[in-house]
Amino acid sequence: MTNFRAAVAQLNSGENVAENLVACGKAIVAAKEQGAQVIFLPENFAFMGPEAARAEIAENLDEAAGPIASFLSRSARQHSIAIVGGGMPERTADPKRPFNTSAVFDPAGNLIGRYRKVHLFDVDLSDGTKLCESASTTPGSETLVCPLGNVQFGISICYDVRFPELYRRLVHAGATALAVTAAFTLHTGRDHWEVLLRARAIESQCWVLAAAQWGRHSHDRLTYGRSMIIDPWGTVVAQASDGVGVVVADLDLVQLARIRASLPSLKHRRL
């Protein structure tokens, strides 16, 4: 098999976990109906509220018994689809600073990988947006490349996309596709979102799957959306417009191999 069908969800999550999970469930069903073998949910898919409040809903992923992790596991098993929950609060030794964790469940509902966001978003933007993720989140320290079907997915979250050295490490570890799950601000997204994603695809010669939050959220935060799937040449092959939805594309690994063979930049590094 040379193609692997993948979906990215675009959500408008708020502060009500139960309502957000219902919306995620609809996206999962839509992806499965279109033949997707995996769906990527955006960062903060279960809770998009004040950063400090994330600790109140943080879960122990090792037990996978909390409402968020159990939903992901149950949905994957019920619909026979792999699910990547692209950013949820995972408990740490510091009860006030959970990890921001992307959890990977296989189609049988098993947790097969987790990536804890390494780069935390501490900014004071000119549009008035002030965010200090490090005040309420513990940074991770490890990268993750996780196999799903015949694709090796390198996992990342939002602000990570600005740090190409992370993706170089993922490619070195064998990644053939890169996931970027995000809640990108409207202010930065308009100018940087697509440019950064296409750059990561081109320099890494990988498929890029970007699942994003969109719109105005319950705590008056604005996110950009435009979830998309990009091929290893840097071409956007599927993109969501404004609103909630799911976009699907076939990841062609023959095309990827052809691009890497004809323009072997990954072999030409001199560092």
Q: Is 158 in the active site?
A: yes
Lookup result for tokens 């769906």: 39
For residue 244, how many other CB atoms are within 10 A of its CB? 17
Residue of 43, 59, 90, 133 marked catalytic: 43
Amino acid in position 191: D
The Cα–Cα gap between 106 and 111 comes to 7
Residue of 32, 51, 59, 117 marked catalytic: 117
Q: Which helix (H) or strand (E) holds 12?
A: none
What CA–CA distances, in Å, run from 3 to 6, 23, 37, 151, 207? 10, 28, 11, 9, 12
Q: What token pair was written down for 177? A: 């596709």
The Cα–Cα gap between 258 and 21 comes to 39
Check if the beta carbon of residue 170 is closer than 8 Å to that of residue 161.
no
Residue of 24, 32, 59, 158 marked catalytic: 158
Check if the beta carbon of residue 150 is closer than 8 Å to that of residue 174.
no
Q: Is 24 in the active site?
A: no
Check if the beta carbon of residue 133 is closer than 8 Å to that of residue 62.
no
Closest among 224, 230, 227, 167 to 198, alpha carbons compared: 230
Check if the beta carbon of residue 167 is closer than 8 Å to that of residue 193.
no
Instruction: State the pairing for strand pair 177-182/207-212.
Output: parallel
Q: Is 117 in the active site?
A: yes
Q: Which helix (H) or strand (E) holds 186?
A: helix 186-204
Lookup result for tokens 């956007």: 236
The catalytic residues are: 43, 117, 158
